[in-house]
Amino acid sequence: MDDSVVSAQIRAAGVKVTPGRVRVLVALLAAAQPLSHADLEALLPDADRVTLYRVLDSLVACGLALKAVDPRGVFRFSASSTQREHSSHIHFRCTYCGGVFCLKAAPPPPPKLPRGFRLAEVEYDVRGVCASCAAHT
């Protein structure tokens, strides 16, 4: 995704266009899965830690990004426009290298819930060892 397009999206969202916001949103748009603060720090080594938290919060506040907790209790961020692409995947997480792989198979249909329960999201995570890590051990 082009920087100028991303800048326009940020401007359209009603907040200032800053280099930090552009770089973070570009990274989120390019990411295959939601990124943690630590992921983004690694991708953008020059960014200030606190500014990064604030940039992420501002993107969430203006609707350009989504914030969720992962099973480890860490916040992960995704660009709003890419969220839908990954809601219909199964993710395979390699417990050795930490990599996340999108499997082709469609996730199973959501189960029936007891009366009064409201469904928000379904997560189907498969864990194990990926092919390259399996080959190394």
Q: Where along the sequence are the contacts to DNA (CB under 7 A)?
A: 11, 15-21, 36-38, 47-51, 53-55, 57-58, 73-75
Choose among DNA, a copy of itself, none what residue 36 binds, the Cβ cut-off being 5 to 8 Å by kind: DNA
Quote the CA–CA distance of 64 and 35 in Å, as a whole number.
Answer: 14
Closest CB 13 distance from DNA, rounded Å: 10
HSE of 37, CA atoms in CB hemisphere, 13 A: 16
Choose among a copy of itself, DNA, none what residue 79 binds, the Cβ cut-off being 5 to 8 Å by kind: none
Q: Using an 8 Å Cβ cutoff, are 37 and 56 in contact?
A: yes
Closest CB 125 distance from a copy of itself, rounded Å: 5
Amino acid found at 70:
D
Closest CB 52 distance from DNA, rounded Å: 8
Q: Containing H/E element for 51?
A: helix 49-61
Q: Is 122 left (phi over 0), alpha (psi -120 to 50) or beta?
A: beta
Q: Residue 31 has which token pair?
A: 């990411």
Which residue in 12, 30, 97, 122 binds a copy of itself (CB under 8 A)?
Answer: 122
Sites of contact with a copy of itself (CB under 8 A): 69-75, 90, 92, 95, 101, 103, 105, 108, 110-132, 134-135
